[in-house]
Amino acid sequence: MRVLDSSAFIHEYHTDEPTASIPMVQEELEGEHAFRFDAMEGAGMHIHVPDAQTVDQVRRASGETGDAGELSETDTRLLAAAFELDATLVTDDYAMQNVADKLGVDVEVIAREGISERRDWTFQCAGCGREFDEDQERCPVCGSDLSRKNPA
């Protein structure tokens, strides 16, 4: 099974495998892309609503990789749907690919190259320079903004 992100509808992705998506993807699409979603639903695409516990599990995983601030609610729920359905996630979003790798969810990319390795981001304070493993609103030491940093 393939779980389709908005990019799959925008790039006219086609597969002979069974497909699924979530209602929030339909809400993001407009014009012919929304029509394509409706047509695929009419042709048997499964509409899945993931459990709250799985959504929380994805949130924890995205916090661990440092991608929580990059994922929309739609992205989080798509990852949860792919996890629950033991499906391949179809997306071009790098943050989603990173979290999917952490969760053991297979990914198929459409119009871009996929990620070459998973990254667990760190966060550095713009004021005092301290580094933290998890994203926070502000530095707990000096109150300055944090920025995402590649730990390599």
Instruction: Write 29-34 long-range contacts (CB < 8 A, 24+).
Output: 33/6, 33/9, 34/9
Domain span including residue 131: 121-152
pTM (two decimals): 0.74
**Looking at residue 45, what DSSP letter applies?**
P
How far apart CA 100 and CA 52 sit, in angstroms, is 17
CATH at residue 137: 2.20.28
| Distant-in-sequence, close-in-space partners of 145: CB < 8 Å, separation ≥ 6 | 125, 126, 127, 138, 139
pLDDT along the chain (152 residues), means of 10: 94 93 94 92 95 97 90 96 98 92 94 58 80 78 79 60
Residues facing 81 on adjacent strands: none
Q: Do residues 142 and 87 share a domain?
A: no
In this prediction, residue 142 carries a pLDDT of: 85
Angle at 109 between CA 150 and CA 56, to 5 degrees: 65
In this prediction, residue 140 carries a pLDDT of: 85
Q: Do residues 13 and 79 share a domain?
A: yes
In this prediction, residue 128 carries a pLDDT of: 86
Q: Do residues 89 and 59 share a domain?
A: yes
